[in-house]
Amino acid sequence: MDTKPAVDSKAATLLKYRFGLFEQMQNHLHVVDRRTLFFYRDQRSTVVGGDRVVIEFSFGTSEQVTALRGWVLGRVEGEGGQAGAWIEFPDARLARKIDGGAESISARRQRRLVCDMMVELKLGRMPFLARMVDVSLGGARIIGPIELQTGAEVDLRIIGAKPPIPDMLGRAQVVRTDKTGDVGVRFVRTNAVARIASSKLYAALEQSWAKTPEVAHSPLCCVSGNVLEPPLPHVKNRA
């Protein structure tokens, strides 16, 4: 259950989870072998092992919000009276960050929308495959193409896009890059395809998040130190 799923063009499933208090989140993030595990408690969820997900965490007592990308380790059906899925995030950064309190994560921002979609960036005739991980009206953040240089212009398309998500995003300029393959691009507004498609993409993502049902933290959980979760799944150490 420790194997990372293969890269595919299917868009990640969007999930929302709302805690009543920020402190409750600290009880539910478990760091194992430098990764973070979270039990998404919802018997109605259709996610299965290997599915990629983006989950937005929010809180009843503030406008703070954070979102993480991960994948489903496996489902739990009735174990210990619980139903849902264990989700793995690839590092422990959020778990460390929340130790600093609610101010350590961002306030809700409508300007940037978290996503997870496979994209192709074409520099001349040379294609690069990557993942788009967040989008604004002006640009996007993409992870993967480490060979790109700041200032380069690329043609951008979403692989496996289905309406209302546009497939061709037109021209974009690389405005930031680093050695890890974390790339920032800006849509070229003088390019008609980019100007129209970027607005359509943002609107479609905004609509998708608005339609995503929100799961609320159980009021019976985290009372007198009692955390309602099944046992942690076994996760092998990675080489």
Whether the pLDDT of residue 48 is over 50: the answer is yes
Give pLDDT, residue 11: 78
| Integer Cα distance of 40 and 185 in angstroms | 33
What is d(CA 59, CA 216) in angstroms, rounded to the nearest whole number? Answer: 9
Residue-wise pLDDT for 143-175, tens only, equals 998 889 999 999 999 999 999 999 999 999 999
Give me 239's structure tokens: 């080489």
Q: Which CATH architecture is the domain 13-110 placed in? A: Beta Barrel (2.40)
User: What CATH number does the domain located at 113-210 have?
Assistant: 2.40.10.220
The one-character DSSP state at 213 is: P
Tell me if 13-110 shares its fold with 113-210. Answer: yes
Q: Domain boundaries in the chain? A: 13-110, 113-210
**Which residue is associated with the tokens 């849509």?**
187
Which helix (H) or strand (E) segment holds residue 12: the answer is none
Q: Supply the pTM of this predicted model.
A: 0.83
Upstream peptide bond of 127 is cis (omega within 30 degrees of 0) = no
